[in-house]
Amino acid sequence: MNIYEAIADIMKEGCAVTKSKRNTQQGFQYRGIDDVMNTFQPLMAERGIFLVPEVIEATREERQTKQGGNLIYSVLKIRYTFYASDGSSVSATVIGEGMDSGDKASNKAMAVAMKYAMFQVFCIPTEEMQDPDAESHDVQPKRFLDSPPPEKPLKPFASPDGDFQTVCADCGREIDVRTHDYSVKYYKRPLCRDCQKNASANR
């Protein structure tokens, strides 16, 4: 069985990966990399498939929270090559992003990249995954090169569960994109829910 036949055979299983994990701090469900691996590892092993990651590009930068803590932001471009027992292979190149206050920013980026490489290659039904066409965002006009830079921009990043996040401008806590968009709309800066309450109380 070559790699194309093996991947097609796995796709016939039609396994959906549910959001079985819960972020207790922010109250949302997500799919972990272990959910994906626990579902597909036995299917791949049965058909003699394995994959090899290759980091093509890597960027890291240090950021600082308002409280003075350090955060490492890592972006990795990774090629995942799926091999079959006959030597045939197919590759998928994906981007993974991660942020961590310790030494796991790259680990998180690799976990995100692998999860979405699996989603794309095997066309995994993910239940409830929102289509990009189902939402829209208010975006400020593009700045020209001679325009002054915004004050201390906070770039969104991808957590291991794949949801894009940023950090609170006041306390440095990680916040999800819904909280970010709501806060920017009503408080003019990204704030976690606790800091939003404080901001409302001080108005």
Its pTM stands at 0.58
Q: E-strand spans in the chain? A: 21-23, 28-30, 50-64, 70-83, 89-100, 157-158, 164-167, 174-176
Task: Give SS3 for 64.
Answer: strand
Q: Per-residue pLDDT averaged across 26-55, rounded?
A: 84
- In degrees, rounded to 5, the angle at the alpha carbon of residue 21 between the alpha carbons of residues 17 and 24 is 155
- Residue 37: other Cβ atoms inside 10 A: 15
Hey, what's the torsion of the CAs at 141, 143, 147, 148, to 10 degrees?
Answer: 90
Look at 75 and 126; give whichever has higher pLDDT: 75
| pLDDT, position 153 | 45
In our burial notation (b when 16+ CB lie closer than 10 A, e otherwise), range 168-193 reads bbbbbbbbbeebbbebbeebeebbbb
The answer to whether 72 and 105 are in contact (CB under 8 A) is yes
Whether residue 184 has pLDDT greater than 70: yes
How does strand 21-23 pair with strand 174-176? unpaired
At 78-103, the pLDDT tens digits run 999 999 999 999 999 999 998 888 88
Q: What is the mean pLDDT of residues 16-32?
A: 62
pLDDT at residue 144 tops 50: no
Q: Which of 16-30, 117-131, 179-193 bottoms out in mean pLDDT, i.e. has the lowest?
A: 16-30
Phi, psi of 98 (to 5 degrees): -155, 150
- Structural domains in the chain, CATH included, are 1-127+155-166 (3.30.390), 168-203 (no CATH)
* Strand order across the 70-83 sheet: 50-64, 70-83, 89-100
Per-residue CA distances from 16 to 2, 8, 131 (Å): 24, 15, 16
Model confidence at 195: pLDDT above 60: yes
**Stretch among 29-38, 56-65, 150-159 having the lowest mean pLDDT:** 150-159
